Amino acid sequence: METTYLDCVLASGFFKDELYVMLGDSSAFVERQKVQILQEPNGLNNGKGKVCVYVIEREADRLLVEIPGQPVVGSLRTWVSSKQLDLLDNNGI
């Protein structure tokens, strides 16, 4: 399955090894090892990062992706603009 990293907003998770990831219309608790942290969240301030996602379906200008984690808002799958794409090789993380 194809994987890619997409820009996301981060907040602290309940445990040290997870982050609360917000992407598109969804959010989930994701293991830290599946997130590239660009700005660490602290206290009430959100952070920035890139989360590894699975590409489920491609359309001309958007992608259906699945976030690897436990859903909080919405589902683990969300549509995102294909402009956000930063493809990895198929090996993923």
Residues 14-57: tens digit of each pLDDT: 999 999 999 988 999 999 999 999 999 998 899 999 999 999 99
pLDDT in tens, 67-93: 999 989 888 999 998 777 655 544 444
In the chain, domain spans:
3-84
- Return the number of other C-beta atoms located less than 10 Å from residue 31's C-beta: 16
pLDDT of residue 90: 45
Q: What is the pLDDT of residue 28?
A: 95
Cβ atoms within 10 A of the Cβ of 10, count? 23
Is residue 92 exposed (0-12), middle (13-18) or buried (19+ Cβ within 10 Å)? Answer: middle
